[in-house]
A = this chain, B = another copy of it.
Amino acid sequence: LGWDTAMSPKITGELLRQLRQAMRNCKYFSEPIQAYIIPSGDAHQSEYIAPCDCRREFICGFNGSAGTAIVTEQHAAMWTDGRYFLQASQQMDNNWTLMKMGLKETPSQEDWLISVLPENSKVGVDPWIIAADQWKNMSKALISAGHSLVAVQDNLIDAVWTDRPERPSTQLRTLGLEYTGMSWQDKIVTLRAKMTERKISWFVATALDEIAWLFNLRGADIEYNPVFFAYTIVGMNTIRLFVDLKRLADPALRDHLQLGSPSKPELSIQTFPYESVYTELQAICAALGPKDKVWICDKASCALTQVIPKAHRTPIPYTPLCLSKAVKNATEIQGMKMAHIKDAVALCELFAWLEKEIPKGNVTEISAADKAEELRSQQKDFVGLSFPTISSVGPNGAIIHYRPLPETNRTLTMNEVYLIDSGAQYVDGTTDVTRTMHFGTPSAFEKECFTYVLKGHIAVSAAIFPNGTKGHLLDSFARAALWESGLDYLHGTGHGVGCFLNVHEGPCGISYKTFADEPLEAGMIVSDEPGYYEDGSFGIRLENVVLVVPAKPKYNYRNRGSLTFDPLTLVPIQIKMMNTELLTQKERDWVNEYHRKCREVIGAELERQGRKEALEWLIRETQPIV
C-alpha cells in the first residue's frame, strides 16, 4: 500500500492537546490516564479497515497498513516497520517520534512506556480494537513495572474526531447455492456438530469474513473486502446476528435468512443491533451452566473475550468457521476457476494492449492499473478489485508494497522491467495474480533472477507432499534456486485466498514465518508467489493462485495419501524473461504444459468473447520452449 495524500505532514498539535485533555477527563474513567494506545485496526481485527476505523491515521497522519501510536502527557510516538519508515516520517509532524521497528536501538512499546511513564501510571486502550492476546502481553509487562493497563470503553480518538465518517452500512448481497454450494443452514448444522464433538455450548464469531461466509452474504463495508460489520453468536438452539438492523429490510434478504419463517426453530435467526453484542453476550454468560464452554478466537477483541468468564472461555487459534471456509467445496472451486478464467482474459488483453501502447510512451503505472481495472470490469459478475493494484516500473518494482501515486508514477518503457500484482472480486471468486514482464530486451541479470524465481515457483507448484503437511514446510522449495546463487526474498511464499471473500485468509499459507499454520488439505486455495527484489533497480514476482488437490504418486506410504497444487491462475509467464538454459527438462516441461493449458482454457474463452488481439497475444506467448 502506498500513501494517497500529499506528502506534507499532518498538523497534529491541536489534536494532541484535545486528546490529552480527554485523557485527563474523568468523564471517561474514574482516574486520569497517563498514556493512551491507538492501535491500527477495527473491532474485528480486520486486515483492511473502513475510514471510520482509521483512528491511528487520524491522530498522527500516517496511513500505512501497520502502525501503533501511543500518546502520553509529554510524548507522542508511533511504531511501524521497515516498509513504512520513509512514508511515516513524511506524513507525521514534529509532535511525533517515529519508532522504527526491527532496528536494535528501537524500544518495544512496553519498554518505551516503562521508560517514560511516572510511577504507578495508568495506560488506556480501547478494548475493542486490541486483540485479547496483545492485551495480555501488554498488561503483563506494565504490571511487572508497577503500572496498569485499563480498558477505556469510549474511544478517545472518536471523542476528538469531530468529522469522523459514519460506520458503513452498504447493501447486503445474498449468494445462492449456485455460488456457495452449501446453505447457511447446513453450515450452522456442521458448526454445531463440531461444537457437540468438543462439548462447546456457544461460539462467538467476530471475524467479518467468517460471518459473511457463514450466512452466504456479502457486503461492501470495507474496500476490496466484500464483508459487512456484524457479530454472530451461535448456541445449540439459537443463532444471534448482530448487524445494523436497517440492512435487513430487503425482502429477498429476509427470505434468504428466513427471518420470521424459519424451517426449524433451531435455525431461526434472532437479529440484534450491531452494538448490542456486548450486552447480549453478557446475558448469555450470566446464564451459563457450570460445564458450559464458549469458543472464541484468541485474536478476537479483548472487550468481547473478557465478557466470557475465564472458566467458561475456550480460546482457539482458528475457529471452526475459519477452517471450514478454507476448504472450498466443489461449487466454490468451480466458481474460483471461472473467476480466474475471466481474470486471465482481462490480463491477456492488458498485456496485448501494453505491448502495443508502451512504444508510444503514453502508458504509466497508474494508467496501466486503470486499464487493468477497466478490462476486468468488463467481465461478468465483476464486483471490484480485491486489493489496490501494484503496478510498478523499474526501481519501483523493488518496493514490495508499492502502489503508484501521482508523485511516484513512472512511465512504462521498453527498457525497464514491469511488475503488476493485481486481482479482483467476482461474484463467483477472488483472484490475485502477479506477472513480471519486459517489453524490450531484459538484461542477462534480470533474466537470471527471473528464472530463479520461476524455478522456485515451479518447485512449490509441482511439489508432491504427504497429506497433513503444513505449508511452512514447503517454503524453502521456493527459495532453493535463489539461495544457490546467494539470493533470497524477504517475504513469505503464499497466503490463503477466499472465495469472493478476503484475498488474504487463514489458516494456511506457505511461509518460513508461520509455524501455527494448519495442515494443507485438498480444496484449500493458496498463492504461490516467490520474488526477487534488486533495490533501486527492479522487482520480480511470479504469483499464481493454486488449488490443493490429491496427487497419485507411485506409492502411498502408510496410506497417508499425497497432495499437490493445480494452478487456477492461467496467465502466460513471459518466456522472454527466462534464461531457459538454467531450467531443467522437468521445469521446461512444466512451463510448456502450463502454457498449453493457458492456451486451451483461456484461448477458448478469448475466442468466445471475440477478443482477437488478446488471443493472438496468448498464442504468441504460449509457444513451447525447447
Q: Which residues of A contact B (CB under 8 A)?
A: 463-466, 473-477, 479-480, 482-488, 512, 515, 551, 553-558, 560, 562, 584
> In the complex, are the beta carbons of B483 and A562 less than 8 A apart?
yes
Q: If the complex has contacts A476-B473, A488-B557, are A483 and B464 also in contact, measured as CB distance less than 8 A?
A: yes
- The 10 A-B residue pairs with the shortest CB-CB distance, nearest first, are A486-B553, A486-B555, A515-B515, A487-B557, A473-B476, A485-B554, A464-B484, A465-B483, A486-B556, A485-B553
> In the complex, are the beta carbons of A557 and B486 less than 8 A apart?
yes
Kindly state the separation between the CA atoms of A412 and B558 in the bound complex, as whole angstroms.
28
Kindly state the separation between the CA atoms of A306 and B569 in the bound complex, as whole angstroms.
57
> In the complex, are the beta carbons of A483 and B466 less than 8 A apart?
yes
What are the residues of chain B within 8 A of A475 when measuring CB–CB? Answer: 473
What are the residues of chain B within 8 A of A515 when measuring CB–CB? Answer: 515
What are the residues of chain B within 8 A of A466 when measuring CB–CB? Answer: 483, 486, 488
Kindly state the separation between the CA atoms of A487 and B551 in the bound complex, as whole angstroms.
12
A468 to B: closest C-beta gap in Å: 10
Interchain residue pairs with CB less than 8 A apart (16): A463-B483, A464-B484, A465-B483, A473-B475, A473-B476, A474-B476, A476-B476, A482-B557, A486-B551, A486-B553, A486-B556, A486-B562, A488-B557, A488-B558, A515-B515, A584-B584
Q: In chain B, what residue has the closest Cβ to A487?
A: B557
A405 to B: closest C-beta gap in Å: 27
Among A464, A474, A479, A483, max chain B CB count under 10 A is at A483
What are the residues of chain B within 8 A of A482 when measuring CB–CB? Answer: 557
Kindly state the separation between the CA atoms of A520 and B260 in the bound complex, as whole angstroms.
63
What are the residues of chain B within 8 A of A484 when measuring CB–CB? Answer: 464, 553
A556 to B: closest C-beta gap in Å: 5
Among A474, A515, A557, max chain B CB count under 10 A is at A557
A530 to B: closest C-beta gap in Å: 13
A197 to B: closest C-beta gap in Å: 12
A511 to B: closest C-beta gap in Å: 11
Kindly state the separation between the CA atoms of A562 and B479 in the bound complex, as whole angstroms.
13
Contact of A487 among B477, B486, B512, B555 (CB under 8 A): B555
Among A473, A512, A556, max chain B CB count under 10 A is at A473
- This protein's copies in its complex: 2
What are the residues of chain B within 8 A of A557 when measuring CB–CB? Answer: 482, 486-488
A452 to B: closest C-beta gap in Å: 10
What are the residues of chain B within 8 A of A555 when measuring CB–CB? Answer: 485-487
What are the residues of chain B within 8 A of A551 when measuring CB–CB? Answer: 486
A398 to B: closest C-beta gap in Å: 12
What are the residues of chain B within 8 A of A480 when measuring CB–CB? Answer: 463, 477
Kindly state the separation between the CA atoms of A241 and B482 in the bound complex, as whole angstroms.
49
A326 to B: closest C-beta gap in Å: 21
Kindly state the separation between the CA atoms of A463 and B482 in the bound complex, as whole angstroms.
11
Kindly state the separation between the CA atoms of A167 and B482 in the bound complex, as whole angstroms.
54
Kindly state the separation between the CA atoms of A483 and B553 in the bound complex, as whole angstroms.
8
Kindly state the separation between the CA atoms of A557 and B476 in the bound complex, as whole angstroms.
16
What are the residues of chain B within 8 A of A465 when measuring CB–CB? Answer: 476, 479, 483
Q: In chain B, what residue has the closest Cβ to A445?
A: B555
A69 to B: closest C-beta gap in Å: 30
Among A477, A484, A560, A562, max chain B CB count under 10 A is at A484
What are the residues of chain B within 8 A of A479 when measuring CB–CB? Answer: 465
Kindly state the separation between the CA atoms of A558 and B490 in the bound complex, as whole angstroms.
10
Q: In chain B, what residue has the closest Cβ to A552?
A: B486
Q: In chain B, what residue has the closest Cβ to A554?
A: B485
Kindly state the separation between the CA atoms of A477 and B555 in the bound complex, as whole angstroms.
19
A106 to B: closest C-beta gap in Å: 18
Q: In chain B, what residue has the closest Cβ to A484?
A: B464
What are the residues of chain B within 8 A of A485 when measuring CB–CB? Answer: 553-555
What are the residues of chain B within 8 A of A486 when measuring CB–CB? Answer: 464, 466, 551, 553-557, 562
A22 to B: closest C-beta gap in Å: 36
> In the complex, are the beta carbons of A473 and B553 less than 8 A apart?
no
A426 to B: closest C-beta gap in Å: 34
A522 to B: closest C-beta gap in Å: 15
A58 to B: closest C-beta gap in Å: 35
Having A486-B554, A488-B557, A584-B584, one finds 15 other A-B pairs with CB under 8 Å, namely: A463-B480, A463-B483, A464-B486, A465-B479, A466-B486, A473-B476, A474-B476, A476-B477, A482-B557, A485-B555, A486-B551, A486-B553, A486-B555, A488-B558, A488-B560
What are the residues of chain B within 8 A of A464 when measuring CB–CB? Answer: 483-484, 486
What are the residues of chain B within 8 A of A476 when measuring CB–CB? Answer: 465, 473-474, 476-477
Q: In chain B, what residue has the closest Cβ to A470?
A: B512
Q: In chain B, what residue has the closest Cβ to A449?
A: B555
A156 to B: closest C-beta gap in Å: 34
Kindly state the separation between the CA atoms of A464 and B484 in the bound complex, as whole angstroms.
5
Kindly state the separation between the CA atoms of A555 and B482 in the bound complex, as whole angstroms.
10
Kindly state the separation between the CA atoms of A486 and B557 in the bound complex, as whole angstroms.
6
Kindly state the separation between the CA atoms of A474 and B479 in the bound complex, as whole angstroms.
11
What are the residues of chain B within 8 A of A554 when measuring CB–CB? Answer: 485-486
Kindly state the separation between the CA atoms of A558 and B532 in the bound complex, as whole angstroms.
12
Kindly state the separation between the CA atoms of A228 and B120 in the bound complex, as whole angstroms.
50
Kindly state the separation between the CA atoms of A476 and B520 in the bound complex, as whole angstroms.
15
A33 to B: closest C-beta gap in Å: 27
A144 to B: closest C-beta gap in Å: 9
What are the residues of chain B within 8 A of A553 when measuring CB–CB? Answer: 483-486
Kindly state the separation between the CA atoms of A466 and B486 in the bound complex, as whole angstroms.
7
A485 to B: closest C-beta gap in Å: 5
